[in-house]
Structure formats: structure tokens, C-alpha cells
Amino acid sequence: MAITHSQRDQYVAACMLKAKTEAQLFIESHQEKASKEKPLETNEPPDTWLSTEEAAKHMKIATRTVSDWVNSGRLISHGSGKCRRFKKSACDRALRQDRK
């Protein structure tokens, strides 16, 4: 028995509707679980952003050394030129790397 185009289209539409409904149920169930879970609480303040000068002062090194560390990949920066910023945690990590 051959299937007509309209029968096939109806079947495809029904399958797509079923898949969409299953996907929505999956998403809703995970959203409910996520809303019941407690968010992670840390005692640490959020990471602060430092300018090149502030980063150098924080790490007690010269601004030229900060630039050298960025160029060598040891310190990650965001932005470029005078708008370059550093996460305080990245500066601390670079210092710990130096002392190992």
C-alpha cells in the first residue's frame, strides 16, 4: 500500500510535534531540578579587574614585566593597549607560577 504525500506530511508533522513536546518536557524537568538546588555559595568576593598599573602594583613588579608576561602567555589579559585589563585571580596565579 502506497502512502500519499498528505499522509506522509501528517505523519511527519505528528512526529515533529511529539519530539517538540518531549523536548519541552525534558527542559521543564531540568529547570525544576535547577530551581530546587541551592546555588553555590562562596565566601570569596567576585573577581576584580585591574589596569596594567594596578596589576603591577598588586604583584609588586614593574609595568614592563606585566607586559612581558602577557607577551609570553604567562599572564592573560583582556582588551588591548591602554584598555588592557587583568583579573586579580590571574595575577595571583601568575605570581604563584613564578614562585614554583
Is 40 among the domain residues? no
Distance CA 5, CA 26 (A): 31
Nearest alpha-carbon partner for 87 in 71, 65, 70:
70
Q: What is the mean pLDDT of the chain?
A: 81
Which residue has better confidence, 36 or 20? 20
Is 20 among the domain residues? yes
Q: Are 54 and 93 part of one and the same domain?
A: yes
Counted domains in the chain: 2
Q: Are 92 and 53 part of one and the same domain?
A: yes
- Residue 85: give the domain boundaries: 49-98
Sorted by sequence, the CB contacts under 8 Å of residue 88 that are 6+ apart come out as: 47, 48, 49, 50, 58
Cβ-based neighbour number of residue 66 at 10 Å: 27
Q: Are 92 and 55 part of one and the same domain?
A: yes
Model pTM score: 0.53
| 8-23: pLDDT as tens digits | 788 878 777 777 777 7
Q: Are 94 and 54 part of one and the same domain?
A: yes
Is 67 among the domain residues? yes
